[in-house]
């Protein structure tokens, strides 16, 4: 039990787990790619 608790607790207690960062980067990259591909002039990412 000690090993499981030690491995799980820090990840749960951190405000931003690594997977949130990965998902955020993928989403941002996708939005930038779509805004450029479709030429959304109203998008702040398509400057």
Is residue 30 within 8 A of residue 43, CB to CB? The reply is no
Sequence-ordered list of residues with C-beta below 8 angstroms from that of 35, at least 6 positions apart, any chain: 43, 45, 46
Cα angle vertex 23, ends 8, 29, to 5°? 160
- The string of pLDDT tens digits covering residues 4-43 is 455 555 555 666 678 899 999 999 999 888 888 877 666 5
Sequence-ordered list of residues with C-beta below 8 angstroms from that of 1, at least 6 positions apart, any chain: none
pTM given for the model? 0.43
For the chain, give every domain's residue range.
18-47
What's the pLDDT at 4?
Answer: 47
């Amino acid at each position: 039990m000690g090993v499981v608790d030690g491995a799980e607790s820090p990840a749960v207690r951190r405000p931003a787990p690594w997977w949130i960062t990965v998902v955020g980067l993928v989403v941002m990259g996708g939005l930038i790619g779509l805004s450029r591909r479709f030429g959304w002039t109203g998008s702040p990412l398509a400057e």
